């Protein structure tokens, strides 16, 4: 069997609109982010889920509550947090350069390999507890790139280079199969 995962990114934040890399700060959905979250159920088609997991950061919780609240259990999991940019939490997006921090932690923060380790632990839990189920995840950029590395077997360099954000190619959910 397998776990079917649909990954959703949280709605646009006020930081996103100002070109700020929120990192592990809570973040606040903007009016656009709220509207995106409200419209997402109508764009998901006939997908159904057994459970929803989200990062324990406010912007992901708020998005998950708007999209799924009252319909499905929403489980918060800190292993789905955005990368801790350390001294660069709240810095300009141009200052947060992922390729330089695959193995090397951000100053007083984490590396992308640290995020990979957390997501790997999360996936091991899913494998044990949700085999044969359909799971929705609402989280951030780094955990999604970690899924590309862990499930789709990309290198970190490939995942970063092929990131949909570079092309503005958002979609209403990315599908992954955890075998």
In the chain, the domains with their CATH numbers are 3-178 (3.40.50.1240)
* Contact call for residues 160 and 83 (beta carbons, < 8 A): no
Query: Could you tell me how many residues make up the chain?
Result: 179
Residue 1 pLDDT more than 90? no
Considering only CA atoms, which of 88, 96, 97, 92 is closest in space to residue 20?
92
pLDDT in tens, 65-116: 999 999 999 999 999 999 999 999 999 999 999 999 999 999 999 999 999 9
CA atoms of 62 and 38, how far apart (whole Å): 11
For residues 157, 91, 123 and 152, what is the CA-based torsion angle, rounded to 10 degrees? -20
Percentage of the residues of the chain whose pLDDT score is greater than 70 = 100
CA atoms of 52 and 149, how far apart (whole Å): 22
To the question of pTM greater than 0.85 for the whole model, the response is: yes
The label of the residue with tokens 């939490």 reads 89
How far from 20 is each of 55, 90, 108, CA to CA, in Å?
19, 6, 18
């Amino acid at each position: 069997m397998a776990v079917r995962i649909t990954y959703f990114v949280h709605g646009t934040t006020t930081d996103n609109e100002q070109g700020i890399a929120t990192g592990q700060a809570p973040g606040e959905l903007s009016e656009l982010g709220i509207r995106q979250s409200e419209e997402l159920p109508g764009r998901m088609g006939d997908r159904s889920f057994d459970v929803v997991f989200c990062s324990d950061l406010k912007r992901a919780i708020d998005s998950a509550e708007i999209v799924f609240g009252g319909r499905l259990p929403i489980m918060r999991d800190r292993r789905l947090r955005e990368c801790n940019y350390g001294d660069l939490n709240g810095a300009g997006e141009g200052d947060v350069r992922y390729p330089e921090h695959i193995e090397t932690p951000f100053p007083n923060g984490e590396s992308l390999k640290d995020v990979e380790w957390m997501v790997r632990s999360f996936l091991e839990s899913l494998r044990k507890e949700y085999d044969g189920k359909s799971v929705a995840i609402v989280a951030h950029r780094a955990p999604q790139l970690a899924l590309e590395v862990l499930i789709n077997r990309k290198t970190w360099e490939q995942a970063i280079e092929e990131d949909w954000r570079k092309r503005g190619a958002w979609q209403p959910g990315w599908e992954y199969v955890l075998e």
